[in-house]
Amino acid sequence: MRNTFFSIAFIMLANFIMAQNPLLTTQWNTPFGVPPFDKIKAEHFMPAIQEAIRLHNAEISAIKSSKLPPTFANTIEAIEHSGELLDKVNSTFGALTSSNTSPDLQKVDKEASPLLSQHFDGIYMDELLFQKVKSVYDKKSSLKLNQEQNKLLEETYKRFVRNGALLPENKKIRLKEINSSLSVLTVQFGENVLNATNGYFMTINDEKDLSGLPADLISSAAAAAKSKGLQNCWIFGLSKTTVMPFITYADNRILRRQLYEYFLNRCNGGKYDNNPIIKEIVSLRAERAALLGFHNHASYELDDNMAKNPENVYKLLNTLWNPALNMAKKEEADMQEMVIKQGGNFKIQPWDWFYYTEKVRLAKFDLKEEEMKPYFQVDSVRKGVFYAASRLYGLRFIKRTDLPVYNPAVETYEVRESNGNLAGILYVDYYAGPSKRAGAWMNNYISQKKENGKDIRPVISINFNFPAPTDGQPTLLSWDDVSTFFHEFGHSLHGLLTKCTYSSLSGTSVSRDFVELPSQFMENWASEPEMLKVYAKHYKTGQVIPESLITKMKNAAKFNMGFITTEYLAAAFLDMDYHTLSAPADINPQEFEKSAMDKLGLISPIPPRYNSTYFQHIFAGEYSAGYYAYIWAEVLDADAFSYFSKNGIFDPATADSFRKNILERGGTDDAMKLYRLFTGGKDPDVTPLLERRGLK
């Protein structure tokens, strides 16, 4: 009797605890169903993930145990609709660990990652469930499905196969072990980069050593010092938004080298050494690919992308490499000449490149980066991207102040169509911080789908690492930052404008080398004179950017493009070289990287955009064997924008075609087929890309 009493008491206590967890309510009681950030705590996630997994398993069990013959509705759609709570909890957790992490969230991440890996392995390697899926798939020609249904069926079947459903039991066991290990290793890689980035800062005590630095960077460095309790000094950390302007403007060459070398060697040895993690990740990925019948990890990943195989990727990269490298060598010669003119007696090094780029830019085009920044205050740029979306797609952005946020600096917007219908909710997270990973990205908190006849609109965030305003000085963006804003906003439009039935096919749920098309496509509007006159206004005077400055920017558009293209291509080659290794892949990452760059003939002043030990895209993100996707998609975006160049950058018919055939369709059809629908049946032409980058 006593045991029964305690059992009942335990169940009641467990139910009470679950009821207090804001993540576990059936519907989040917030406007538009956005995550209840004001109520969520780190300790809520693990119980929520465990409960969501339990509910998902129950839904899968119901599908498996059904005595009815497998059909598209009771099997494929049922799988698609299962795990809704897990999707919501996972999306919220993943977004927070990227944008606003903490030691408690990092601890949960390490515990939850293998648990989630095990959970999904259990689903996709379940023999009975797969046989039901296969039964429907084998009858697909007779099912009379529409295009989106047919795509869902194909993708569901492929997902099971790619996750080991066809393997014998002993290989399934090994695949589960590999997946579990990779889930932990990739989390640890990202944590190491974050900790190494936050763990170092360079202190300057002599004001003379600030020579050349812009006022906003000096102000930020002083504020950073004060935040650490330091007086009468300036500190510079390893975030890209600090390092890049420092090495661009600091006259002190020794300090440029010191900060840049720390930046370049993050996680290469020491407490946060990522070399052994890289070695293990590469080896495990190669082994997994072999288990699944692929030559290497790249072949496994690309089989599901537009590129299809490594040969096609290398073909594109090699087409661009020599023209880019030749241009970079000419740029190096120009800067070496500038070094000599200014009395220097040294060969230009990586920590010199950005500094002398500015000198040569000024000499050739009479254009300074700092001359442009006053016209790109962050709020003005935001208004610019909203204006472009309004002109192109009829969207309205209504600022909300009542939606819960995880950081008070985050802004929220209700996005409405021209007819008044809700397009979705947009979060904008602007500023860098120690709890935020590097870079810029877009997240889905809630994906668009149709459920019981209702169109569920998405909740999306775009995230940046812009320097925060200090001492009344607003955030002024570099041109690279402006392009990044337009880029991520392009991703958000892909998510907001989607009109699909199934969430797994909606929005940005497309192949890795197609997902960058809408984002890079949107960057084109940033530099158009017609757009600049709308949003580029001096933060003090409100004066529209002068025609003379627009002309200078246009003349300098291809300047330094050899460097920009070469450093990117070097990183894309490095990614492919790692992931075309066959199992077992026993490597020394530093030797491997050096060999890969030597093979290319990369010149010493230009390292890859990401050295291996902090290359999060491929070792802690979703771009393994996929970093090439940016240049692949740029072929598409440059070609697509050529249609706007002919017809006008706000031409309604062209914009409507891009929206209906690309943005609204998500992953409901083959990517190239969607692209041809936009172009009227024409394949993309590489010529606009070559012309844009000055490589033709």
Residues 110 and 148 reside in one and the same domain: yes
Whole-angstrom distance, CA of residue 640 vs CA of residue 632: 13
CATH of the domain at 441: 1.10.1370.40
If pLDDT is split at 50, 70 and 90, which confidence band does 14 have? very low
509, with CB counted inside 10 A (0-12, 13-18, 19+), is: buried
Task: Examine the fold and report which residue of 571, 595, 627 is the final residue of a domain before the chain moves on.
Answer: 627
Q: What is the pLDDT of residues 292-332, one digit of tens each?
A: 999 999 999 999 999 999 999 999 999 999 999 999 999 99
Residues 582 and 486 reside in one and the same domain: no
558, with CB counted inside 10 A (0-12, 13-18, 19+), is: middle
pLDDT of residue 271: 96
Whole-angstrom distance, CA of residue 561 vs CA of residue 621: 26
In a domain, residue 8? The reply is no
User: Is-contact 580 592, C-beta < 8 A?
Assistant: no
pLDDT of residue 584: 75
In this structure, what token pair is assigned to residue 582?
């066959």
In a domain, residue 146? The reply is yes
Residues 550 and 590 reside in one and the same domain: no
Q: How many domains does one find in the chain?
A: 4
Residues 472 and 577 reside in one and the same domain: no
Mean pLDDT of the chain: 95
CA angle, corner 205, sides to 204 and 209, nearest 5?
60
Distance of CA 580 to the CA centre of its chain: 23
pLDDT exceeds 70 at position 9: no
Distance of CA 376 to the CA centre of its chain: 23
| Catalytic residue from among 488, 516, 523, 528 | 488
pLDDT exceeds 70 at position 18: no
pLDDT of residue 289: 97
Residues 208 and 354 reside in one and the same domain: no
In a domain, residue 455? The reply is yes
In this structure, what token pair is assigned to residue 160?
């099971």
pLDDT of residue 586: 83
Residue 488: active-site member = yes
Q: What is the pLDDT of residues 459-506, one digit of tens each?
A: 999 999 999 998 778 999 999 999 999 999 999 999 999 999 999 999
Q: What is the DSSP string of 142-170?
A: GS---HHHHHHHHHHHHHHHHTTTTS-HH
In a domain, residue 179? The reply is no
Residues 550 and 679 reside in one and the same domain: yes
Handedness of CA 342, 347, 352, 354 (dihedral sign): positive
Residues 493 and 354 reside in one and the same domain: no
Task: Examine the fold and report which residue of 587, 604, 627 is the final residue of a domain before the chain moves on.
Answer: 627
Q: What is the pLDDT of residues 508-534, one digit of tens each?
A: 999 999 999 999 999 999 999 999 999
**Which residues on neighbouring strands pair with residue 201, listed in sequence order?**
237
User: Is-contact 513 633, C-beta < 8 A?
Assistant: yes
- In the chain, the percentage of residues whose pLDDT exceeds 90 is 93
In a domain, residue 6? The reply is no
In a domain, residue 131? The reply is yes
pLDDT exceeds 70 at position 679: yes
Q: How far is CA 614 from CA 181, 273, 525, in A?
A: 19, 10, 31
In a domain, residue 171? The reply is no
Residues 518 and 652 reside in one and the same domain: yes
Q: What is the pLDDT of residues 593-627, one digit of tens each?
A: 999 999 999 999 999 999 999 999 999 999 999 99
Residues 660 and 548 reside in one and the same domain: yes
Q: Which phi and psi angles does 449 have, rounded to 5°?
A: -165, 170
CATH of the domain at 40: 1.20.1050.40
pLDDT of residue 10: 40
Residues 642 and 577 reside in one and the same domain: no
**CA terminus-to-terminus distance, the chain:** 85
Residues 379 and 353 reside in one and the same domain: no
In a domain, residue 186? The reply is no
Whole-angstrom distance, CA of residue 241 vs CA of residue 260: 12
Q: Which phi and psi angles does 74 have, rounded to 5°?
A: -85, -5
pLDDT exceeds 70 at position 7: no
pLDDT of residue 511: 95
Residues 634 and 621 reside in one and the same domain: no
Look at residue 202 and give its three-state secondary structure.
strand
Amino acid at 177: E
Domain membership of residue 77 as a residue range: 21-124+126-162
Amino acid at 649: I
Amino acid at 444: N
Task: Examine the fold and report which residue of 219, 234, 264 is the final residue of a domain before the chain moves on.
Answer: 264
